[in-house]
Amino acid sequence: MSSTTNKKNLLAASALGLASVLMMAGTASADNIIRWMHVEQVPSTIALWNKIAKDFEAKHPGVKIELQFLENQAFKAKLPTLLQSQDAPGMFYTWGGGVLQAQSVTGALRPLDATMDANEGEWRKSTNPSAIEGLTFDGKLWAAPSKSGLISFYYNKDLFKKANIDANKIATWDEFLSAVKTLKQAGITPIAGGGRDKWPLHFYWSYLAMREAGQKGFADAKSGNNEGFAGEAFVKAGQHLAELGKLEPFQNGYLGATWNDALAAFGDGRAALILSFENTPATQATNSTTRKGLADDNIGRFAFPVVKGAPGVVTDSLGGLNGWAVTKNAPPETEEFLRYMGSLDVQKALAKETQIMPVTRGASEAVARPLLREVADALAKETWHQNFLDQDLGPNVGAIVNDVSVEIVSGGVEPADAAQQIEDAYSLERK
């Protein structure tokens, strides 16, 4: 064979080898893209997430993390279809509860126990047990815990002062209704509401049901005892909510307002109160007209009032337990990234910069913002943590809870009929 022929063969082999390497690199790159789907809208949080992703990429060559945003309602509407398609994200935000449980049985997700228990259970041991328990179904962990939360009333101190209301004296539902009336008499819109999205108003029915039923009564309803969710306590919860609705406490057009609209109304000072998440100081500013909103020292917080004579206590809390679920075809590095997200240093940074209630042991010491410190203290003292009902009771029942909450407060359905609708839907889930 001539030297010319040898050179040609070597060049051809080299070209083929290079092409193979490039194809393999392209395949590896495609396989190692972690698509991270979220609903976050606060720019500073997204900026920190991007930094965390870049730091992880630097330590894991060949891995690329892409943040994908979907607005809250669009996320809930599109995710079921996405999970059954080739466009499924590698990891996505979850509120836990019945929705996550329903997703877990479809085969669209993979459990995270193996990674949690690796290195002698290092990740599991460093995470609050209640957070792991809340995202575990049928003995398997279906999402990596990321944060816990608490729904509270936040109020505009200047507007309360104008109406001569002392928030520290609002302990019962009757006292809350009295404050609403006083605000209206002072020419102040009492509450910012997002009726179009529906779920913001389910906080009211949920808390009132918790206060009327108490933890045991709520557990009994889930088991179908004492007429289930059609029982007296849940009818009374609707009656209390209807009573609030008759006072017309929300801003004009609240039934067509989104959650972001409600945050804007509160942040602009157009409403005195909002029943909202622990990150309200940040989100009210982001959604306000000025993008500055109310100053922290003009925002106060108090727990949802108790109902006098009912078994529910003020330390019974409604709030989220959030995590990141992993889809079945996600790159294998996804779990490793989530373990990195749950590490102490990262959780401390998230707690400090994004105002979350962290789930990693020892990370809560980074919570310094006074309003968040109040939440952290409240969570430390809680006697019962109930996940959002539109998540906990599953997607079908949750949708009905959201629907009837809006209908009750707007006068479209009687409380007893609403309670029966919830019970009828949930009874099908029990079977």
DSSP for 15-56, written as a single string: HHHHHHHHHHHHHHHHHTEEEEEE----HHHHHHHHHHHHHH
The confidence band for 381, taking pLDDT boundaries of 50, 70 and 90, is confident
Ranges of H-type helices in 186-332: 199-223, 232-246, 259-267, 280-287
Give the whole-angstrom CA distance, residue 363 versus residue 83.
32
The confidence band for 31, taking pLDDT boundaries of 50, 70 and 90, is low
Q: Which residues lie below 8 Å from residue 386, measured CB to CB, with a gap of 6+?
A: 206, 210, 218, 316, 317, 318, 319, 392
199-223 and 232-246 are packed helices; what angle lies between their axes, rounded to 10 degrees? 160
Q: Which of 312, 313, 298, 320 is nearest to 375 (CA)?
A: 320
Q: Which of 271, 280, 287, 291 is nearest to 374 (CA)?
A: 280
Q: Which of 422, 411, 416, 413 is nearest to 244 (CA)?
A: 411
Q: What is the pLDDT of residues 54-102, one digit of tens each?
A: 999 999 999 999 999 999 989 999 999 999 999 999 999 998 988 899 8
Q: What is the pLDDT of residues 256-312, one digit of tens each?
A: 999 999 999 999 999 999 999 998 998 999 999 999 999 999 999 999 999 999 999
Dihedral sign, Cα of residue 118, residue 121, residue 123, residue 128: positive
Give the whole-angstrom CA distance, residue 2 versus residue 319.
79
The confidence band for 6, taking pLDDT boundaries of 50, 70 and 90, is very low
Amino acid at 421: Q
Give the whole-angstrom CA distance, residue 30 versus residue 11.
28
What percentage of the chain carries pLDDT values higher than 90?
76
Q: What is the pLDDT of residues 88-138, one digit of tens each?
A: 999 999 989 888 998 999 999 999 999 999 999 999 999 988 788 889 989
Place of tokens 């529906």: 198
What dihedral angle (degrees, nearest 10) is formed by the CA atoms of 68, 93, 318, 378?
A: -80
> Does residue 28 surpass a pLDDT of 70?
no
H/E stretch holding 11 reads helix 3-31
E strands in 330-375 = none
- Residues 370-374 have a mean pLDDT of 89
pLDDT of residue 297: 97
Task: Compute the 3-state secondary structure of the chain and give helix, strand, coil in percent, each to the nearest 5.
Answer: 55, 15, 30
- Residue 18 burial (10 A CB sphere; 0-12, 13-18, 19+): exposed
pTM of the model: 0.76
Max Cα–Cα distance, the chain, nearest Å: 103
- Residues 306-325 have a mean pLDDT of 95
DSSP secondary structure letter of residue 360? B
HSE, CB side, 13 Å, CA atoms: give it for residue 355: 21
What dihedral angle (degrees, nearest 10) is formed by the CA atoms of 316, 322, 327, 333?
A: -130
Give the whole-angstrom CA distance, residue 343 versus residue 345.
6
> Does residue 24 surpass a pLDDT of 90?
no
Reported CATH class of domain 152-318+385-430: alpha beta
Q: Which of 152, 168, 158, 162 is nearest to 182 (CA)?
A: 162
> What mean pLDDT, rounded, does the chain reach?
91
Which part of the chain has CATH 3.40.190.10? 32-149+320-379, 152-318+385-430
* Domain covering 32-149+320-379 in this structure, CATH number: 3.40.190.10
> Does residue 23 surpass a pLDDT of 80?
no
Reading the block at residue 418, the tokens are 């609403």
- For the chain, the residue count is 431
The confidence band for 8, taking pLDDT boundaries of 50, 70 and 90, is very low
What dihedral angle (degrees, nearest 10) is formed by the CA atoms of 382, 385, 386, 388?
A: 100
Q: How many C-beta atoms lie closer than 10 Å to residue 164's C-beta?
A: 8
Q: What is the pLDDT of residues 229-252, one digit of tens each?
A: 999 999 999 999 999 999 999 999
Give the whole-angstrom CA distance, residue 344 versus residue 126.
8
Q: Between residues 22 and 164, which one has the greater pLDDT?
A: 164
Task: Write the DSSP assignment of 57-104 as a string of letters.
Answer: HHHSTT-EEEEEE--HHHHHHHHHHHHTSTT--SEEEE--HHHHHHHH
